[in-house]
Chains A and B, each alone.
Chain A
Amino acid sequence: MKSKGSEVMFLAWNEIKNNKLRFTLVIGVLVLISYLVFFLSGLANGLEQLNREAVDKWEADGIILTEESDLRLQQSILSKDDFDGNGVDEYTELSQLSAIASNEDKKENVFIFAIDPDSFIMPNVTEGNTFVNEGEVIADDTLKEDGFEIGDEISLSSTDETLEIAGFTDKARFNAAPVLFTDRDTLETLQYGETAEGDNNTVNAFVIRADSLDNVEVDEALQVIDTETFIENLPGYTEQNLTLTLMIYFLFIISAVVLAIFLYVLTIQKISIFGVMKAQGISSGYLAGSVVAQTFLLSLAGVMIGLALAVITGLFLPAAVPVAFNYIEMLIYGIILIAVSVIGALISVQTIVRIDPLKAIGG
């Protein structure tokens, strides 16, 4: 037995087939809107990764910063002795410095993270070697695309000291800048010069792995925050995400309104034929179902073409454009687009229910 869906699809599909130009225009508008939604979601995702991938790679549960730091890594200055590992499974110190790195040809804003090479935040080496001698670093591989190579001597804006790229790692950008990983001695030399050698105890944070952050015991001048909160407080991160998310949500509304207007106009044009069908006894429910089925078909086509176009565009974009598609998220946005389009069709459904067959047949 045929389903009710296929029955209402009959009228919807035949109308589309016989009014190709009209419905191609409707689908075209939906393609453009869904393309923009998918592209923006890819951009939001790419920019998100640009900010957080180095932190995500730690697979840490939380981070310890000073209370005064306002959750900013750069502003948190604490002593190695301020935390003794109470309540955590693992912890390690993290010190950082931001600088402009140059290899004579190119200049790039970078973060330098000083880490313990035996700790869990030590990155994998995808090319070259790890840092062994003082002055050696592992660099994020996006620097390669900017012309940096293994063995390059890097000068920094804030010091006369130089660094050398020993190897590259992947997915290691923090707050939209590539990260150079090195050891604490190298960082201290960069910060205080060769003469300051000795026992400098200051670090910027402790990165921790713990079953529950509530059980982590810290001095009252310190605070334990989960990794997500730390990322959300990166400068510009939340503002940027909210802006793009808001644009996507507006596009959902625009999509619903545009399709609602299109369908309403089409429904108004069909009032007399709908009236005749109602006079013959065809129920409002069937006609309304047909409009909803038609909206579903149109929005499904528009979303699928928009999705394909967005993915194809992504393949040809230069690396400098931070677009990264999250296919699950795109699928969800696609479903939302179809759902809001169907909701937009409800205005037409209301019109159909109100059609008086008597007026439509001129009685």
Chain B
Amino acid sequence: MAILELKKVQKTFGTGRTKVEAMKETDFEAEKGELIAVIGPSGSGKSTFLTIAGGLQTPTDGEVMINGTALMDLKEKKRAALRLKEVGFVLQASNLVPYLNVGQQMQLLDKVKKGNLQKEEAKELYQSLGIDHLIRNFPKDLSGGEKQRVAIAKALYTNPSIILADEPTASLDSDRAFEVMNMLKEITKEKQTATIVVTHDTRLIDDCDKVYKITDGKMELQESVHDTL
């Protein structure tokens, strides 16, 4: 069973002559252990797809299922709880709380959700992401790459089954960007999560299991990763 499934999902804004189709009828599936790239130019509908998949906005039509639960049947409070349990977001801008140090960012998650990583598991995660020496640092003291690695750690800390990453390499140089993508790939395989990376950088999709391309709101699965290159 797919962990994340979008069935005939559409999103339109406005009506009549001002109607804009942000996302045309789309079917999408993500399985455990899959690293999926969603690529497309700016304004093509990538973020719309990601926010619908994460339950942050509702589609005009169609259905979004996370682990077999239809998101649209849930009220906002339950949707938020499901998000906290199943989805880890890595956002384009830093999603770190400015007045909490790296360790406290994780402690905050312990305050709001049970079943997060155990101490030893967390330690391993920090080591694998190379942030174990930054635990007492505040976001303002971190570089762009370090912030992004902490954001990934934060997304993984709650043991999510899905990781949704919105341009996770946008603020990084090429070396760092490849490093982050490799890290996401390793985590996906190791933790058996479904990881969906939205990006406009086609250089980063080499190791992805599937690639979807969005053009003007129309999303299509590419036959081969290399078709898109």
Residues of A participating in the B interface, judged by any CB pair closer than 8 Å: 7-8, 10-11, 14-15, 17-19, 273, 276-283, 286, 357-358, 361-363
Q: Give the A-B contact count at a CB cut-off of 8 A.
A: 77
Interface pairs A-B: 9 shortest CB-CB: A281-B84, A281-B83, A18-B99, A363-B51, A7-B111, A276-B95, A15-B99, A358-B56, A281-B80
Most A C-beta atoms less than 10 A away, residue of B50, B84, B112, B138: B112
**Contacting residues, chain B, for A14 (C-beta < 8 A):** 99-100, 104
Q: Are B98 and A363 in contact (CB under 8 A)?
A: no
Classify the secondary structure of A's interface with B: helix
Name which residue of chain A comes closest to B94, CB basis: A276
Q: Mark B74-108, 1 if CB is under 8 A from A, else 0.
A: 00010011111101010111010111100010011
Q: Classify chain B's interface size.
A: 20 to 34
Query: B92 is contacted by which of A281, A282, A286, A362 (Cβ under 8 Å)?
Result: A362
Does residue B202 face the partner (Cβ distance < 8 Å to A)?
Answer: no
Q: Are B82 and A281 in contact (CB under 8 A)?
A: yes
Q: Are B57 and A286 in contact (CB under 8 A)?
A: no
Does residue B47 face the partner (Cβ distance < 8 Å to A)?
Answer: yes
Q: Are B57 and A363 in contact (CB under 8 A)?
A: yes
Compute how far the CA of A19 lies from the CA of B51 in the bound complex, rounded to whole angstroms: 32
Q: Are B83 and A363 in contact (CB under 8 A)?
A: no
Q: Could you tell me the distance in whole angstroms from the C-beta of A305 to the nearest C-beta in chain B?
A: 23
Compute how far the CA of A271 lies from the CA of B161 in the bound complex, rounded to whole angstroms: 28
Name which residue of chain B comes closest to A16, CB basis: B99
**Contacting residues, chain A, for B93 (C-beta < 8 A):** 276, 361-362
Query: A280 is contacted by which of B77, B92, B95, B99 (Cβ under 8 Å)?
Result: B95
**Contacting residues, chain A, for B104 (C-beta < 8 A):** 10, 14
Q: Could you tell me the distance in whole angstroms from the C-beta of B160 to the nearest C-beta in chain A?
A: 10
Compute how far the CA of A279 lies from the CA of B164 in the bound complex, rounded to whole angstroms: 11
Compute how far the CA of A18 lies from the CA of B82 in the bound complex, rounded to whole angstroms: 31
Does residue B48 face the partner (Cβ distance < 8 Å to A)?
Answer: yes
Does residue B168 face the partner (Cβ distance < 8 Å to A)?
Answer: no
Compute how far the CA of A358 lies from the CA of B11 in the bound complex, rounded to whole angstroms: 14
Q: Are B97 and A273 in contact (CB under 8 A)?
A: yes
Q: Mark B93-135, 1 if CB is under 8 A from A, else 0.
A: 1010111100010011001110000000000000000000000
Does residue B33 face the partner (Cβ distance < 8 Å to A)?
Answer: no
The verdict on A19 contacting B99 (CB below 8 Å), with A280-B84, A283-B81 known, is yes
Q: Could you tell me the distance in whole angstroms from the C-beta of A289 to the nearest C-beta in chain B?
A: 10
10 A-B pairs within 8 Å (CB atoms) are namely A7-B111, A280-B84, A280-B89, A281-B84, A281-B87, A283-B81, A358-B51, A362-B92, A363-B51, A363-B57
Q: Are B77 and A363 in contact (CB under 8 A)?
A: no
Compute how far the CA of A278 lies from the CA of B51 in the bound complex, rounded to whole angstroms: 13
Compute how far the CA of A361 lies from the CA of B54 in the bound complex, rounded to whole angstroms: 12
Compute how far the CA of A286 lies from the CA of B112 in the bound complex, rounded to whole angstroms: 8
Name which residue of chain A comes closest to B92, CB basis: A362
Q: Are A283 and B48 in contact (CB under 8 A)?
A: no
Given A18-B98, A273-B98, A276-B91, 6 additional A-B pairs, CB 8 A: A11-B108, A14-B99, A14-B100, A281-B81, A281-B82, A281-B113
